[in-house]
Each structure stands twice: as structure tokens, then as C-alpha cells.
Amino acid sequence: MASASIREGQLVHQGRAKSWLSKVFEPNPAGLNWPRAVMILDVMLVPLVVFWAIGHEEYLLSALVGVVFAALADPGGGYGYRASHIAVFALVGAGLTALAFGIGGSGWGWLVLAAFAVTLVAGLAVMFGAHRFVAAYLLSVWFIIALGVAFSLHHHARITSYTWAQVLAWLGGAALWIVVTFIAWLVRGREDRPEPFTEMPGDTSRQKLTRPLIMFAVIRAVAIAGAVAIAFGLDLAHGYWMPIAAIVATKPSFEQTTLVAAQRVCGALIGAAAAALLLLIPANEHGLTLLAITHGLEVVALVLLMHAAAIRFWNYALYYGTITAGVLILLDLPQPSNYGAEGGWVLWTLCGVAIGVLVMFIASLLAKRAPAAKQPAHAARPHDQRSGHRSRPGHARAWADDRGGVPRAV
């Protein structure tokens, strides 16, 4: 009887493990979009070739993020409406880029204060509608990335980077998307077009800032500030991945946070292993052969990022694994025999999601002790109220795990 009980318990645990893994890797067939991925690849090739030609690839990241995030923030509609909104998005992003690279060499206390302020303001932007909240969320993620890159360039790398050049690279990327949309608008007979990323909310109606929304914005800002303090205060190599993981993993509920944390960790492990294997190719090469392999791997990295764009709303774990592999290849190509970046990516991702899970666990305990408050329908599901947009297949499912207005946009 004892052995039977032990076996029964093992079967129960195995069943729970399989159920957990199936939830982490559960696909959403409606979220697969290959035409959009090819379009993103075509657009990303432009800044890649430009920075190859001028020999300043240290500015490539700002340009790539600028064009991709501008595409994510594109509201669709008439061209004038789209261009004006993307232009405002680009200008705000340029200001945040200048701030990040301007203070990147300062004391870590200023970095913590700036990260807290930007994350808090982005969280409160939900009052301007779900679409503008998504745009503000993307800008806050870019600010943390730019802050980490600036800190790394100032304290670890031997690469000179100018703030104005990073700002121009960001603006150039966003301007490229405006040009692409203009060409598409002319080709299609000057017709209004829907959002390129149809899974993003299009609602721009104002919402009341309720107490739960304000508290979540504050909690997330505190979590990101804490992650920035640990990463930059201790001067950790590649430590900026910790606040990036924390800002993406922190969701309105503890259950959502743990699921996204598990998906992000699994993706980090898959992507780091893939990048390490690919970076074995140029490890012992020199001269023209090394140059050719390096450029080839840069193209492979862009192809991986294209796949990430295709499966973004198909499965988050595999998406993060693909984007991890692409980014790590670009980061490690200058030193292909050094695999510290892969280990750091996994370690700091674990630490970042742990911070997010811990903060939301504490918040859930506090919420249970506090008197229950009825949450308005528009605050609970802002994506269900779309201004002038039809509901689209797979849209509800893509956003079902993001109640509270916090999308999984990275």
C-alpha cells in the first residue's frame, strides 16, 4: 500500500508538471503571422545595411528598436492620423533616449530615480486609453534598455557612443516606419489601413484612474527601481537584463506574473543555448573568413528576430527564446569566444522575474487583507472597448492573460 501511495503521488506530480509545461508552451494558432514577419525583416535590413556602410554598428540597436516599436505603436487609420501619432511617439522616445544615454555614466542613484519616474508615468498613461498606454509601456521598456546599454558602454565596453547619435538613430528608425507607411498608403490607393499589429488595442477613449490601476503602476515602478538599483548599484555585467525581465514579468495578478515568469525563463534557456551553439562557428576564424561569418551571423540574427515577430502572439516562451538568440548573437559577435553574455542573460532573467513574482506575491497578500473594491469593466478589460475597430479573430485570446491593461509587448 505504501508503494502504491508513493507511485500515485509521483503520477500526480508528473501530471501537474505536464499540465504546467503545456500551459507554458500552449500555442495560439490565431497569433501566427508570417507576412508581417517578412515585412519587419525587410524594414530591419535597411538600418543594418546603413550602419554596415558607415561602420558604426553601436547605433544599430537604437535604429532597430525605433522602427519596430514605431510599428507596434502605429494606430492605423488615415495616413495623416497615423503619421502624427507616430511622430509624437518618436519625439517622446527621442527625449527618453537622450535622457538614458545622457545619464548612463552618472551615479546609480540617478538611474534608479529616472527608472522609477519613467515607469510610473508610463503606468499612469492608461488614463489616456489602452492604445496610448501600450505606446507608453513600449517607451518605458526602451528607456530601461537604453539605460542599460548606456551604463554598459560607460563602465564596461571600450566603445565611444555619442548621445546625439543614439537619438538620431532612434529617430531615423521611427522615420523609416513613417516612410514605409507612406509608400504603402500610396500603393494601396490612399486607403485607410488597420493597425499593422492587430493584436494591439486601438481604444483611445479616456479612462478614470482607479485605485487598483494607480497601485499597480506604483508597485511596478518600485519593482523596476529595485531591479535597477541591484543591477547598476552592484555594477553587474549585463545586469540591465534584470529590470527588463522584471518590467515584462510584472503583471496585474500573481497568477499572470508566475506564468509570464516561467515562459521568460524557459525562453531564456532555449535562446541562450541556441546562441552559444551558433557562436561556436566563428570562434577560431580570422581575417576575411571571420568578417564573412560575422556578417552572415548578423543576417541570421535578423532572421531570428523576423521569426520572433511572426510568433509573438503564438507562444510567448518560444518568442522570447527566438528573440534571446537573435539579440545574444548581435551582442557576442565582437567576442565570439566569450560566452559570459549567455550565462548572464539567463541569470539576470531569473533574478528579474523573481523580483516581479515576489513583488506581485506581496501585493496579492496585501490585496486579500484590504476591503474588496469593485473594478470598473473598462479598467478590467480595456482591450474589449475599441474605438472604431472591429473585433478580430484571436484578438480576445491574445489579450486574455493581460487583464489590467499590461500587455506582453516584449
pLDDT at 342: 62
Residue 231 and residue 348 in contact, taking contact as beta carbons nearer than 8 Å: yes
CA distance 140 to 289: 40
User: By the 8 A CB rule, do 76 and 194 touch?
Assistant: yes
Q: What is the pLDDT along the chain (410 residues), one digit of tens a residue?
A: 545 444 544 444 455 556 667 788 888 888 888 888 888 888 888 988 888 788 777 788 899 889 989 988 888 888 899 999 999 999 999 999 999 999 887 788 899 999 999 999 998 988 888 888 889 999 998 998 888 888 877 766 556 668 899 999 999 999 999 999 999 899 888 888 888 877 777 777 788 888 888 888 898 899 899 999 998 888 877 777 788 888 877 777 777 778 877 888 888 888 888 887 887 777 666 777 777 877 788 888 888 888 888 888 888 888 888 988 887 777 666 555 455 556 677 787 788 888 878 877 777 776 666 554 444 444 444 444 333 443 343 333 333 334 344 444 43
Give one DSSP letter per residue of 212-259, joined into a string. Answer: HHHHHHHHHHHHHHHHHHHHHHTT-TTTTHHHHHHHHH--SSHHHHHH
Which pLDDT does position 174 carry in this prediction? 94
pLDDT the model gives residue 378: 42
Identify the bridge partners of residue 193 per DSSP, sorted by sequence position: 77
Write down the pLDDT at residue 376. Answer: 43
| Contact predicate 304/322, CB 8 Å | yes
The pLDDT value recorded for residue 410 is: 38
pLDDT for 14: 52
pLDDT of res. 402:
40
